[in-house]
Amino acid sequence: MSAFPLPTLFDFGAAVLQAMLVLALAPALQGWIKRCKADWQGRRGPPLLQAYADLGKLLRKQPLLPEPASWLFRVAPWLVLAATVVAATLVPLVSPKNPLGAGDLIALAGLLALGRFAQALAALDTGSAFGGMGASREMAIAALIEPALVLVIFALAIPAGTTDPGRLAAAGLAAGWAALGPSHLLALGALLIVAIAETGRIPVDNPDTHLELTMVHEGMLLEYAGPELAALQLAALAKQALVLGLVAALLLPWGLDAPVPLALAALLLKWAALGALLATVESLYAKLRILRLPDLLASAFALGGLSLVARGVFGA
């Protein structure tokens, strides 16, 4: 038996670099979204790099653990962060080839679901009413949005014959502007709704509120403090950058075949454009009532189903 070949080592190094890139730039993306939202609302807004300062402040604080919490409560933040980091290695952000050489969108969805499940269990572990409420709402939203994500994956995978995101991005690059058919546009609409739900943005959730009647994701974080809270917040920011990067890779892949510096510049432009789109949606719409969320999430499922039908029946 021989050792791992050199390309595999290079692939592993590229995956580590991409994960570090996502973790390093995710707080800046959050600052950009808040800045765009502040501009829409006619106010000054926080500094662009405020998220880095917030994370640094949390890392310097002493962790506080609720008395009923078990080992699961302490382990969950790092499991959520690890699942998000591994998921970040499966998306082709600066190259049509996956950093690890191979990947699967089903595995990506599973890793995101694993992080969500661990965080919900930790919220229930404390016995807090707010934690239980946030966990139940998070699971209800996941049960509605994950089928829509699977439909979009299948709609994109049918013509390429694979669920490898790298090969899907390469297929989009090869098709060029001809890829912007009805099925592609329907999948784009569905994936944007999925992105809003996965990142917990308005109108699905408000990441800046602590009102007990409206919070979903924040309800699961109320018992955390210090480094554990920093890990959860960094995981949420990395997940936001990852989901927007997935939208860019699958549906807007142009620039991935350029040299790495130009591909990185294209990624930053896509992140900025999609972040500005999220800020625009948040500024134009109010948060939906919890009982109205199934209507919005069902529309993502419908768009994904129509995209699958258009691709499989009409080939469009």
Tell me which residue of 204, 285, 294, 292 sits closest to 240, measured CA to CA: 204
DSSP annotation of 313 reads I
Band of pLDDT at residue 100, cut at 50, 70 and 90? low
Q: Could you give the C-alpha distances from 106 to 96, 103, 111, 271, in angstroms and in order?
A: 18, 9, 9, 23
Residue 15 — φ and ψ, nearest 5°?
-65, -40
Predicted TM-score of the model (pTM): 0.86
Peptide bond into 203 cis (omega under 30): yes
Residue 1 pLDDT > 60, yes or no? no
Rounded CA separation 158/156 (Å)? 6
Asked whether residue 304 carries a pLDDT value surpassing 60, the answer given is yes
Residue with tokens 């190094």: 13
pLDDT of residue 177: 65
CA distance 92 to 256: 8
